[in-house]
Structure 1
Amino acid sequence: MIIDLNKIKKIYFIGIGGIMMSAAARYFLSRGKKVWGSDRESGPLIADLKKLGAKIYTGHKAENVTSDFDLVVYTQAIGADNPELKIARTLKIKKLTIYQLLGLLSRDKFTVTVAGMHGKSTTTAMLGLIMERARLDPTVFVGTKIKEWRSNFRLGHSKYLLSEACEYKDNFLNYHPDLAVINNLEAEHLDYFKNLVGAKKSFKKFVSQIRKGGFLVANIDNKNTRELIRGAERAVTWGIKNEADFSAKEIKTKKNGTVEFKLAAKGKVFREYNQRIFKLKVPGVFNIYNALGAIAGAAILGVKPAVAQKALAEFGGVWRRFEYKGRTKSGAKIYDDYGHHPTEIEATLRAAKEKFKKEKLWVVFQPHLYSRTHDFLKEFAEVLNLADNLILVDIYAAREVNEHQISSRDVVDLINKKYRRRSPAVYIPSLREAAGYVRQNLKKGEILMTMGAGEAYKVGEELIS
C-alpha cells in the first residue's frame, strides 16, 4: 500500500498512550494535522497530547472510528479483535502499525537508529541531545520523555531523523538506517523470538538493511553484537573490556555516584576524541556503555568532541530511568526505574548500591508479562536478591493471558528458599497494599526504588503525595 503522508489530514491512533504512539501523535500535531485516538486508560502522556489539541477517548469502541479518517495507526499491543481496528478494516481506511509509520517517515531522511535489548532510550536521548547541541537539528522519536524537551519527540527541520528501534516482533525491520547503533543482544521477548537464535537471526537481517555506505555502531563487549560486525559493510565499535574504536579508560566513580572516564579513540578519523575526559551525572557502568554508543555515533556524524562532552556532562537522565521522584514525609528518597528484564534490574540495582553505599535499599518490583516471568524466573530471583528489602506485587499482564500459571509469589518463594536474607522477600498482591506496607516500614534516610514496565511507579507517587 502506497501512502503519501503529506496528503493525510486526519489520523486516529489506537493505543495513543503508548510511548512511541504518543511521540508519533506529537509529530502529526506539530505538522498541523488533526489527531484523534483512544486508550484503555488516561495517563501523563495522554494528558500532554490533550493539551496540544488531540481528541482522545478512554476505551476502545467501534463508533470512535468514522469513515472521514485518512489513516489509522495502531500499536501491536492490541488484539486483532480490537473493535476500532475491525471497523477500520470494514471502512477500508489506510492502516499502519506504529513502526510501519516510523519506517515510512524515515525513508527520505538520513536515518540514525538505536537498537538492542537494553539502554535504547537513554542512548537515543544522549545522542539526540548531542545532535541538537551540534546544530544538526534532528527529528527524534524516543521511548521515554527527555527532560530537556519535556517530551518523547523533537521536531527538527534537517535531513536527520533519530529513532529508537524496537526489536519486538521485528519492528526494527521497518527501518533502513544510515547509521545503526546496537547496544546489546541477548535472550529477550521469547514469546516472539522463542530463543536467542531467533533474536540473532532478526538482528542479522536488521544489520543487512543498513544503507550502502552506512555504519553499524556496535558494543564489542557483548559477544552477540560482536557476531553482527561480520555482516556490516562498515563497523565502528565501542566498549570497556575489549579493544574497540572507542574505549572508556580510567573510570572513576565519585562519592555522589557520578562517573568520569578517559576516552581512548583509535584511528586518524577519530583522533580529536582521543584522551578526552567525559563526565556523567547519571550513575552506573551501564550508562558509560550508553554514553559510548552515543559518542561513537556523534563522532561518525562529525560532531566536535567538546560538544559531545558538554551535552553528556549536562545530561540528567530520562523519565523512568533511575529517576529521582522526591521524598516521603519521613525523609526517605523515592526513585523509579523502568527495568523489567534481569539484566536491566541487575545493572540498576548495582548502580544504586554503588551510589547509596550506606543507605538501606527497598525495592518494589512489578514483573512485566507472564511469559517473561516464567522464562527468567531463576534470573529474576538472583538479581532481585540484591535489594535489602524486597516487595513483589502481582504481574502486569499487558497483552498476555497466564498460560504458564506463574505468579509473583513464585519469584518470592524462590528467593526466600534459595538465599539467606536478613529480611525475607514479601509478596503483596496490589500496588495500594504495597504502598501501605512501605509507608509503615520505610524510614528516614532509606531509599525506595520502584521498578517495572507496568505501574509500580504508582507506589512511589502515593507515598510522595
Structure 2
Amino acid sequence: MLNVGTVGNVPEPTFTTPFAGRRLHFVGVGGCGVSGLALIAQKLGAEVTGSDMKSTMYLQSLQANGLTGMRVGHSVEHVPAAPAQIVYSSAIKPDNVERARARELGLPELHRSDLLAEITRVRRTIAVAGAHGKSSTSSLGAHVFSVCGVDPSYVVGALLRPPGVHAATGAGDLLVIEADESDKSLLSYQVDTAVVTNVDLDHVGDAGYQSVQDVAAVLAQFANRARETVVTEQAASYLSPLVANLTVVEPELIEGRPLVFRWAGEEYEVTHPGEHQLRNAALVVYLALREGCSPEAIRAALLSYPGVARRFELRGRTPGGARVVDDYAHHPVEVEAAVSAARQIAGNDGRVLAVFQPHLFSRTQQFLNEFLAALGKADAACMEPVYPAREDPEHWGHVAEELVAATGRADGVVMSPGREELVRMLRETAGPEDVVLLLGAGDVTELGEPLTA
C-alpha cells in the first residue's frame, strides 16, 4: 500500500499501485496526455523526469507545479539509468533518440495508456470518449465533482484555469479520465462508466480508421467493457445497434436563453456559449446527480467553472476593443461550433473574424471542403498554412497547394498574409463588438499575445 500527497490540504489517498520508488522518464512530456500522467505519477510518489522538443503550456505547467526534471529537446543524455522506465505516447516514434537509447540500456518502455491503465485498475473510473468535447466534458466533470465534495482524482487533456493543472489526486474513490480513440488506447482501461460525447471521423487513417463506422465499432468495444455507458443522442444514433444498454442524456434547450438548459425538471446555467457546451454539461449533471450531488450544489459548481485553456478561452481585447477568443478546434464540426458560439457573443452588431490553422495535412486533405464551409459562416476568415505536427511536409506538398487553390475559390476565406501583417490588420480593423477567433490545435494560439498587447 502507498500513501501519496495531494494538491492543497486534501487528505492523502491510498493507492495500491506501486508508484513509490519508481523512476519514470516521460518522452514527449509536453503533450496533453503524457504531461497529466507525469504530474499524477509525481503526486503518487514516483521520481519523474521528462523531455519534449519544445516548451509547451503543458510542460510549463509541470514546471510551475514543482516538477524540476523537465527538459526541452531530446537527447540521449536525458535518459536516466536503470531501473528507470520510459513512458511515451503514440506521437513518439521508436526511432526517437531517447527511446533508442533506452532500448540500448535495456530499460522497459510503457505506452502512456499502459500507465494510465494501472491507475484505472485501482479507482472507480469514469472515462470520457468521443471525437469532440472529451477535454471540455472531463474537465467540467472533474471541477463539478471537486466543488460538490466528491474529491476525485483526474487526468484530463486540457489545463483547468485556474489552477493551471490537468491532473490531481483526490481522497475519494473516483477517477475521471479522458479516453482517446485515436490510437485505440481507450481499450486499455478498466472503466466503470463510459461516457461518449459524439461519434465522428477525426483521426483520418490513424489506427486503421477509414470511416465513421470504424470509429463507432471501437467506441462500442469501449462501451461494452464498461458497467454503464452514458451518451448523447448523436452518439446513441451510432452506438445503439452495437451496445445493449445505453443511458441517453440530452438537455432540453430553452429558446432565448442560450446558456441555460433543463434536465430532469431542473434548470442549469453554464459559463461558456454554444449548444455543444450545454450537451457536455448535461452529461456532467447526470453523473453528478448519480454521485449524490444536489441540484443546488451542481448549479453553483457549473457557474464557478473557470474553463480550460484553449477551449473558447478569452485571451483579452485588441486595442480596438475586440474580444480575442482562442479555441483548439481542429475538425470541421468543432470549427462550426466555435464560430456559432462566437456569433452568440458578437450578437447583431459585431462580426466574427476567424483565423484558422489546419492541423495535419491528412486531416486537411480529407475535410478541406468542410473546413471552408464551416469558416464561411464567419463574417471573414483567414486560413494559415498547415501545422504539420507529426507529418513530414515534404511528403504532403500537394495538400499545401490544394489549400491555396481552394481558398482562392472560396467566398470569404483567404490565405494569411503572414502573421505580422495579419496581427496589424486585426488590431487596426477589429471593433469593440467583434470577436477575433483563433482556431486550431497548432501554434495559432501564439497570436493571442500580440493581438492583445
Q: TM-score, normalised by structure 1?
A: 0.88
For 1:138-167, what per-residue CA distance to the aligned partner results, in whole angstroms no more than 9, with x for missing partners?
101111111243211122122111101111
Alpha-carbon separation, structure 1, partners of 2:17 and 2:289: 34
Amino acid of the structure 1 residue aligned with 2:378: A
Report the counterpart of residue 57 of structure 1 in structure 2: 71
Cα contact 1:337–1:449 (8 A) shared by 2:
yes
Match of 2:48 in 1: 35
Sort the Cα spacing of 1:360 and 1:105 in 2 relative to 1 into closer, same or farther, 3 A: same
Residue 448 (1) aligns with residue 440 (2): no
| Distance across 2 between alignment mates of 1:306 and 1:340 | 35
Q: Which residue of 2 aligns with 1:426?
A: 414
Equivalent residues in 2 for 1:1-80, closer than 5 Å = 5-51=18-64, 52-80=66-94
CA contact (8 A) 1:431 1:458 kept: no
Q: Which runs of 4+ in 1 moved over 6 A?
A: none
Deviation at 1:393, TM superposition (A): 1.3
Which residue identity lines up with residue 396 of structure 1 in the other structure? Y
| Residue aligning to 1:262 | 262
Give the CA deviation at 1:70. 2.0
Aligned positions of 1:247-258 closer than 5 A: 247-253=251-257
Cα deviation digits, residues 289-317 of structure 1 (max 9, x gap): 11111112223333222222221122242
Between 1:182-191 and 1:37-46, the stretch displaced more is 37-46
Residue 242 of structure 1 corresponds to none
Consecutive unaligned residues of structure 1, counting only runs of 5 or more, are 240-246, 264-273
Deviates further, 435-444 or 380-389: 435-444
- The equivalences for 1:218-237 within 5 A come to 218-220=231-233, 222=234, 224-232=235-243, 234-237=245-248
Query: What percentage of residue pairs aligned between the two structures are identical?
Result: 28
Q: 1:450 to 1:409 in 2, by over 3 A?
A: farther
Cα distance in structure 1, aligned partners of 2:340 and 2:377: 8
1:344 maps onto 2:342 in alignment:
no
Matched, 1:323 2:313: yes
Residues 1:363 and 1:66: Cα distance change in structure 2 (over 3 Å)? same
Matches within 5 A, 1:280-291: 280-291=270-281
| TM alignment of 1:155-170, pairs within 5 A | 155-170=169-184
Please say if 1:204 is aligned against 2:215: no
Following TM superposition, by how much is the alpha carbon of 1:87 offset from its aligned partner in structure 2, in angstroms?
1.2
Residues 460 and 409 (structure 1), Cα distance of their counterparts in 2 relative to 1, 3 Å cut: farther
**1:88 aligns to what?**
102
User: How far apart in 1 are the matches of 2:80 and 2:160?
Assistant: 34
**Contact 1:207-1:216 within 8 A present in 2 as well:** yes
Q: Does 1:389 align with 2:380?
A: yes
Is the Cα contact below 8 Å between 2:323 and 2:434 reproduced in 1? yes
2:236, 2:248 within 8 Å by CA — same for their partners in 1?
no
Residue 301 of structure 1 pairs with residue 261 of structure 2:
no
Separation in structure 2 between the aligned mates of residue 13 and residue 461 of structure 1, nearest angstrom: 29
Shift of 1:216: 0.2
The 3 A distance-change label for structure 1 pair 29 and 431 is: farther
1:176 Cα deviation from its structure 2 partner: 2.1
> Structure 2: where are the runs of 5+ without partners?
1-15
Q: What per-residue deviation string (whole Å, max 9, x for no partner) do you get for residues 330-378 of structure 1?
A: 3222110000000001011011112212212211111000000000011
Instruction: Assess, with a 3 A threshold, how the Cα gap between structure 1 residues 418 and 327 changes in structure 2: closer, same or farther.
Output: closer
Q: Number of residue pairs matched?
A: 433
Distance 1:459 1:292, change over 3 A: same
CA distance in 1, matches of 2:438, 2:336: 14
CA offsets 1:241-299 (integer angstroms, 9 cap, x no match): xxxxxx3243443xxxx511222xxxxxxxxxx21111112111110111111112223
Secondary structure at the aligned position of 2:397 is classed as coil
How far apart are the structure 2 equivalents of 1:144 and 1:371?
Answer: 24
Query: Does the 8 A contact of 2:131 with 2:202 survive in 1?
Result: yes
Shift, 1:236, TM fit: 1.2
Contact 1:381 1:412 in 2 (8 A): no
How far apart, in 2, do the equivalents of 1:443 and 1:260 lie?
28
The whole-number CA distance in structure 1 between the counterparts of 2:40 and 2:83 is: 17
Q: Give yes or no for contact 2:270–2:302 (8 Å, CA) kept in 1.
A: yes
Q: Trace 1:120-159 onto structure 2 (pairs within 5 A).
A: 120-159=134-173
8 Å contact from structure 1 (residues 183, 290) kept in 2: yes
2:382 and 2:416 in contact (8 A); partners too = yes
435 and 404 in structure 1: CA distance in 2 versus 1, 3 angstrom threshold: same
Q: What is the CA-CA distance between 1:430 and the residue it aligns to? A: 4.5
Q: Secondary structure at the match of 2:382?
A: strand
- Secondary structure class of the residue paired with 2:443: coil
Q: Distance in 2 between matches of 1:19 and 1:26?
A: 11
TM-fit CA distance, 1:231: 4.3
User: Partner of 2:11 in structure 1?
Assistant: none
Confirm or deny: 8 A CA contact 1:408 1:427 kept in the other structure.
no
1:405 aligns to 2:400 (yes or no): no
The answer to whether the 8 Å contact 1:8/1:71 transfers is no
Q: Which amino acid aligns with 2:369?
A: K
Contact 1:369 1:398 in 2 (8 A): yes
Answer whether contact 1:353 1:361 (CA < 8 A) is retained: yes
Note if contact 2:129-2:194 (Cα within 8 Å) is conserved in structure 1: yes
Give the whole-Å Cα distance in 2 for the aligned partners of 1:360 and 1:69.
Answer: 57
| 1:383-418 Cα distance to aligned partner (Å, 9 max, x none) | 011122211111110111244434456345435525
The AA in structure 1 aligned to 2:447 is V
Note the aligned Cα RMSD (angstroms).
2.1
- Structure 1 Cα separation of the partners of residues 103 and 418 of structure 2: 38
Determine the structure 1 residue equivalent to 2:13.
Answer: none
SS at structure 2 position matched to 1:76: coil
The TM-score with structure 2 as length reference comes to: 0.90
1:460 and 2:448 correspond: yes
Given that 1:139 and 1:154 are in contact with CA atoms closer than 8 Å, whether structure 2 keeps it comes out as: yes
